[in-house]
Amino acid sequence: MRLLLIEEDAGQCAHIRQRLEAWRPQAELVVHDPVTRGALEPEFLAQGFDAVLLADAWRGGRGLAWARELAARPGFAPLVLLSRGTDAALARDAAAIGAWSVSADDLERETFPQVLAAVERRQGHARAVWRTSLAGREAQRFGDAFIRGYRCIRRLSARAMTDLYVAESERAGSLVALKVARDAQEEQALVDPFRRFLQEYEIAQRISSPDVVRIYDLGVSDEHAWLVMEYLRRGDLRRHMRLGVAPREALRLGVAIARALATIHAAGVLHRDLKPGNVLLRDDGGIALIDFGLSKDAALAMDVTDTGTIFGTPHYMSPEQGHAEPIDARSDLYSLGVILFEMFAGEKPYRAENPMAIVYKHRKEAIPRLPERFAVVQPVLERLLAKQPADRYESAAAAAAALQGTLTGWLEHGAQP
């Protein structure tokens, strides 16, 4: 049994967990604090839970109001309202929307496990019907791939080799991002999609850090490789940059990316495709790096690109990477410099009509200058965008410290946010 509890009171959460464990020791209780985490995502149906338990009230919210909205979502999990006292009116209102109600007294009696057993039976039947229905099968289709246990909500983006979807995972009990290789598996493919996804999975499993997106699952369905990762609703830095980034926020993000690079470099991983689209934004202001399919992982002794072959995004490539030369962690710092310049200037440092011309400019053209009002950032940018790796910061940690120092100085001198 798996239950989602919407409750602010930590003491009440602990009590419900204790009662649940006494009845069903292997049951799982996931707590959602409605005050700190807000409403459930509008597409979420709690399909990975046997029921959703809602407190009758919390600061600024009412369980019944939430229950009415959730019950109106077709296919939502069974609802159980928890009242702190005997409330006949609440019980009637709950029954009117097809929900159960449990009072504080019921919680101590056999009524509680009886209600939970009833909702478990209902949800089990509903899942079985849905999975075998035509609508259920179509909902589990992502392009040409049928992926059991995931409900497709919408496509987020389409890239050259992959499509990215928002889905609901029964196993994770949450919304997830699901990446599907557009082309079917081919044994002699230059870059095997499953091999790339496997590398992403292995790296994310080894580096347990908020700086790296969590990855839950991977597989192959209908000859299409797929990968499941956590869904961050704020999206990526690319989308954020389209709206414009304030100078202080640009420096803060620069520090966060540099620290994330320090985390992966310490684990023996070079990203090799750092760009705004591969930097996700967390709700708490942090960032998470994604897309390690082109990374070089020393621990795995795995490199999915052939020697002498150029992979990556030309606008963000270091001069040495663009010319298929040996690279180290300082190549990722160059990519960070490009992102930093773009956040301040609103454009990429080098532009040309074709990718090879851009690669040429990264090596031969002078480092661009920021507008004069951002002169305090120019010294850091010069180090990050140095043509020779030896002239850049010696590590991502050193780059993070320099960026943090620049941010501190910016704030101390009263610059605009």
For residue 304, the model assigns a pLDDT of 39
Q: CATH 1.10.510.10 region(s) of the chain? A: 237-412
Q: Band the pLDDT of 246: cuts 50, 70, 90.
A: very high
CATH class name, domain 139-230: alpha beta
For residue 294, the model assigns a pLDDT of 62
Average pLDDT estimate for 105-127 = 94
| pTM (two decimals) | 0.85
Q: Band the pLDDT of 189: cuts 50, 70, 90.
A: low
For residue 293, the model assigns a pLDDT of 62
Distance CA 369, CA 70 (A): 53
Name the burial class of residue 86, with classes exposed (0-12), middle (13-18) and buried (19+) by CB atoms within 10 angstroms of its CB.
Answer: exposed
Specify whether the CB–CB gap between 55 and 12 falls below 8 A.
yes
Average pLDDT estimate for 243-258 = 95
Specify the pairing of strand 79-82 against strand 51-55: parallel
- 348 or 308, which is more confident: 348
Q: What is the dihedral angle through the alpha carbons of 18, 23, 25, 30, rounded to the nearest 10 degrees?
A: -60
For residue 298, the model assigns a pLDDT of 52
Average pLDDT estimate for 270-284 = 93
Inform me whether the pLDDT recorded for 324 exceeds 50.
yes
Distance CA 194, CA 387 (A): 34
From the centroid of its chain, how far is CA 144? 24
- 52 or 131, which is more confident: 52
Q: CATH 3.30.200.20 region(s) of the chain? A: 139-230
Question: What is the chain's mean pLDDT, rounded?
Answer: 90
For residue 308, the model assigns a pLDDT of 43
Q: Band the pLDDT of 61: cuts 50, 70, 90.
A: very high
Inform me whether the pLDDT recorded for 145 exceeds 90.
yes
CATH class name, domain 237-412: mainly alpha
pLDDT in tens, 281-299: 999 999 999 987 666 655 4
For residue 198, the model assigns a pLDDT of 86
Distance CA 257, CA 398 (A): 12
Q: Band the pLDDT of 301: cuts 50, 70, 90.
A: very low
Average pLDDT estimate for 206-225 = 92
Sequential DSSP letters for 214-232: -EEEEEEETTEEEEEEE--
Average pLDDT estimate for 55-83 = 95
Q: What proportion of the chain, given as a percentage, has pLDDT over 90?
A: 77
Distance CA 417, CA 415 (A): 6
Q: Which of 211, 236, 273, 297 is catalytic?
A: 273
Inform me whether the pLDDT recorded for 396 exceeds 60.
yes
Inform me whether the pLDDT recorded for 415 exceeds 70.
no
Distance CA 283, CA 294 (A): 27
Say whether 93 is catalytic.
no
Inform me whether the pLDDT recorded for 307 exceeds 50.
no
- 144 or 304, which is more confident: 144
Q: According to DSSP H, which parts of 236-394 are helical?
A: 237-242, 247-266, 319-322, 329-345, 355-364, 378-384
The CATH number, out of the four listed (3.40.50.300, 3.40.50.2000, 3.40.50.2300, 3.40.50.1950), of the domain defined by the range 2-132: 3.40.50.2300
**Residue 175 φ then ψ, to 5°:** -75, 145
